[in-house]
């Protein structure tokens, strides 16, 4: 993709134009460059705190499913985590698998973050995709 760049020589030096787009992630803007222009990412391609939250949700759900804890309140107390926070994250386990995959691959829609998931998460995966702008390819 290097041929997509535009190099101009001028009297004050060289001007290099690189095609890129900006993506909002977690309240920050991030520069996304085309494949081939950046051989090694200095940061993760994905929203790391969001990925950690999803992993915690699945680990906690497994503890509940295995009957190691009888309730979220009991588990939260045992693990030293706020029960409200735990309940909020546990809802991530009902996200459509392709939405989770997109989040972990850094392909979530511009501006999508954990805060978009406050409140009820619809159990219907098609509704989730429509609501948050995830398109099935």
Of residues 17 and 106, the one with the higher pLDDT is 106
Q: List CB contacts of 69: < 8 A, sequence separation 6 or more.
A: 63, 75, 78
Of residues 14 and 132, the one with the higher pLDDT is 132
Q: What pLDDT, in 10s, does the model give residues 67-126?
A: 999 999 999 999 999 999 999 999 999 999 999 988 888 888 888 888 888 788 999 999
**Domain definitions of the chain by residue range:** 45-132
pTM of the model: 0.65
What percentage of the chain carries pLDDT values higher than 70?
70
What percentage of the chain carries pLDDT values higher than 90?
44
Q: How far apart are CA 115 and CA 106, in angstroms?
A: 16
| Bridge partners, 30 (sequence order) | 23
DSSP string, the chain: -GGGSEEEEETTEEEEE---EEEEETTEEEEE--TTS-SS-SS-SS-HHHHHHHHHHHHHHHHHHTTSSSSHHHHHHHHT--HHHHHHHHGGGGS-HHHHHHHHHT-PPTT--GGGG-SPPPS-HHHHHHHHT----
Of residues 34 and 120, the one with the higher pLDDT is 120
Q: What is the mean pLDDT of the chain?
A: 80
End-to-end CA distance of the chain: 23
136: pLDDT strictly greater than 90: no
pLDDT at 64: 95
């Amino acid at each position: 993709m290097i041929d997509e760049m535009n190099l101009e020589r001028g009297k004050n030096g060289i001007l290099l134009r690189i095609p890129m787009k900006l993506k909002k992630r977690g309240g920050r803007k991030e520069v996304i460059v085309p494949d081939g222009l950046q051989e090694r990412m200095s940061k993760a391609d994905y929203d790391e705190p969001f990925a950690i939250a999803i992993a915690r949700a699945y680990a906690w759900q497994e503890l509940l499913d295995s009957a190691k804890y009888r309730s979220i309140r009991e588990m939260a107390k045992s693990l030293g985590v706020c029960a409200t926070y735990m309940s909020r994250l546990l809802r991530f386990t009902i996200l459509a698998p392709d939405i989770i995959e997109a989040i972990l691959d850094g392909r979530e829609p511009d501006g999508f973050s954990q805060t978009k998931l406050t409140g009820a998460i619809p159990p219907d995966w098609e509704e989730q995709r429509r609501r948050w702008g995830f398109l099935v390819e």
